[in-house]
């Protein structure tokens, strides 16, 4: 058997089996007794519902992963990648348009395969547990906009990468990495201003006690905000969230309307303080550097696999091409990237603890943040007792009980 085909099958199988084991451990880590920290916040019925929700989403995720892995294996073993390549070559286009057509056909297949799972998740699972507010009109609109943006942005990025590997020779991987890194940084400025408003409505927060409290706090920390906005998160879900977008002078804080409706002013200020803590501790820039270094490694390895005959034999290809090399490398690198995420998740969790500590240090209290974390966990049916291996493998945020414990220690 072709060694690259063997490697792909082995890596995907290992990743799949690991997911099965980790999810089994996570389900069995469920504790029926409500943690004392959440007594008076989580009633037993709601807590039991969160455990059923966890089991449902876990099983659904495994089914989805099984279908997608089977889909990849079927495409490889049937020679479908070669058939698609022969088809797009019949248009007799130049290499870059041919590559874009190749990606378009494969992306269409992926979209069709994924659509039923998105539908079930939105209109069955999320609706069953009281989260979904997405209408059919919004669902269709989101996907149409997503497809158009995918064609525009994906086409731009792919054209750039294909061009570099076509004309830059031995150092093409470095040029491609540099170009993509600059584009990613630019997107941090463009995304909140041009793209996010296509999907949600953003309104400046009214002059109110909340706005005054947030502005007073941010000014006390010498942290300039471009604006504070309320987003219509309730348009799609009852789940609550808050986030910062942009960098430099384009920084803005966004609060879901669902979050504002159920939290006190002090809790919301604590949530914003946590996000400001990420900036004050330079976590955003550290993560940018980390992601750039990760993509540098990926592009370096990609440069070694461009037009590699052994890799093309594994996919039963008749012709070598740069665009197919990108597809095959992404398939080969997928499971590897899953394991590399262990590193980024580790640092992400550490940064969350540091941002929590910043809240306590800058406000002089941790109680509002603890109350907010509890409320967020209850409203979103979060798993309070995930297995440590699940946390290490997949969690970008520490479990809520660990965060509360750390905050209480800082208060002493």
Query: At residue 411, does pLDDT exceed 80?
Result: no
Model pLDDT, residue 139: 94
Q: How far is CA 26 from CA 19, 209, 391, in A?
A: 10, 42, 9
H helical segments located in 306-321: 309-314
Q: To which residue do tokens 């990760």 refer? A: 294
Which residue ranges does the chain devote to CATH 3.30.2010.10?
202-262
H helical segments located in 121-208: 126-128, 136-149, 155-167, 172-190
Nearest to 32 by CA among 45, 18, 19: 45
Region 361-371: what's the mean pLDDT?
94
Give pLDDT tens digits for 65-110: 999 999 999 999 999 999 999 999 999 999 999 999 999 999 999 9
How far is 320 from 218, CA to CA, in rounded Å?
56
How far is 312 from 325, CA to CA, in rounded Å?
8
Region 18-38: what's the mean pLDDT?
92
Model pLDDT, residue 253: 84
For residue 207, how many other CB atoms are within 10 A of its CB? 9
Give pLDDT tens digits for 255-297: 898 889 889 999 999 999 999 999 899 998 899 899 899 899 9
Give pLDDT tens digits for 121-150: 999 999 999 899 999 999 999 999 999 999
With H, G, I as helix, E, B as strand and everything else as coil, classify residue 281: coil
How far is 211 from 103, CA to CA, in rounded Å?
46
- Mean pLDDT of the residues in the chain: 91
Selecting from 3.30.2010.10, 3.50.50.60, 2.40.30.10, 3.10.150.10, what CATH number does the domain 202-262 have? Answer: 3.30.2010.10
Higher local confidence (pLDDT), 411 or 303: 303
Res. 226 pLDDT band, cuts 50 70 90: confident
Model pLDDT, residue 239: 87
Max mean pLDDT range (27-41, 218-232, 391-405)? 391-405
* Exposed/middle/buried for residue 391 (C-beta within 10 Å: 0-12, 13-18, 19+): buried
Query: At residue 51, does pLDDT exceed 80?
Result: yes
Res. 154 pLDDT band, cuts 50 70 90: very high
């Amino acid at each position: 058997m072709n060694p690259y085909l063997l490697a792909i099958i082995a890596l995907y199988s290992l990743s799949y089996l690991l997911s099965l084991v980790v999810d089994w451990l996570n389900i069995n880590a469920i504790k029926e007794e409500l943690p004392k920290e959440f007594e008076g916040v989580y009633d037993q019925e709601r807590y039991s519902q969160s455990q059923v929700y966890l089991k449902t989403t876990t099983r659904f995720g495994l089914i989805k992963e099984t279908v997608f892995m089977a889909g990849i294996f079927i495409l490889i073993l049937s020679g479908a990648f070669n058939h698609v390549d022969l088809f797009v070559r019949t248009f007799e286009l130049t290499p870059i348009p041919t590559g874009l057509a190749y990606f378009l056909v494969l992306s269409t297949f992926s979209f069709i395969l994924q659509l039923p799972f998105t539908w079930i998740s939105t209109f069955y699972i999320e609706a069953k547990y009281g989260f979904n507010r997405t209408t059919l009109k919004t669902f269709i609109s989101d996907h149409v906009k997503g497809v158009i943006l995918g064609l525009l942005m994906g086409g731009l990025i792919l054209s750039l990468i294909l061009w570099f590997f076509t004309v830059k020779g031995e150092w093409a991987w470095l040029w491609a990495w540099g170009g993509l890194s600059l584009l990613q940084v630019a997107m941090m400025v463009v995304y909140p201003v041009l793209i996010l408003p296509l999907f949600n409505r953003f309104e400046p927060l009214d002059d109110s006690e909340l706005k005054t409290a947030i502005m007073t706090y941010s000014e006390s920390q010498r942290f300039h905000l471009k604006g504070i906005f309320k987003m219509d998160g309730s348009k799609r879900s009852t789940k609550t969230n808050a986030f910062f977008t942009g960098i430099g002078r384009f920084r803005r804080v966004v609060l879901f309307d669902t979050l504002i409706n159920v939290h006190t002013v002090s809790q919301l200020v604590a949530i914003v303080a946590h996000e400001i803590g990420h900036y004050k501790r330079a976590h955003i820039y550290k993560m940018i550097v980390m992601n750039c270094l990760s993509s540098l490694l990926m592009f370096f390895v990609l440069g070694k696999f461009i037009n590699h005959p052994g890799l093309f034999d594994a996919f039963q290809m008749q012709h070598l091409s740069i665009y197919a090399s990108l597809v095959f490398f992404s398939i080969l690198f997928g499971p590897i990237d899953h394991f590399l995420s262990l590193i980024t998740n580790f640092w992400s969790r550490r940064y969350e603890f540091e941002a929590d500590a910043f809240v306590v240090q800058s406000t002089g209290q941790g109680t509002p943040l603890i109350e907010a974390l509890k409320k967020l966990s209850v409203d979103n049916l979060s798993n309070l007792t995930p297995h440590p291996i699940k946390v290490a493998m997949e969690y970008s945020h520490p479990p809520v009980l660990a965060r509360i414990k750390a905050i209480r220690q800082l208060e002493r």
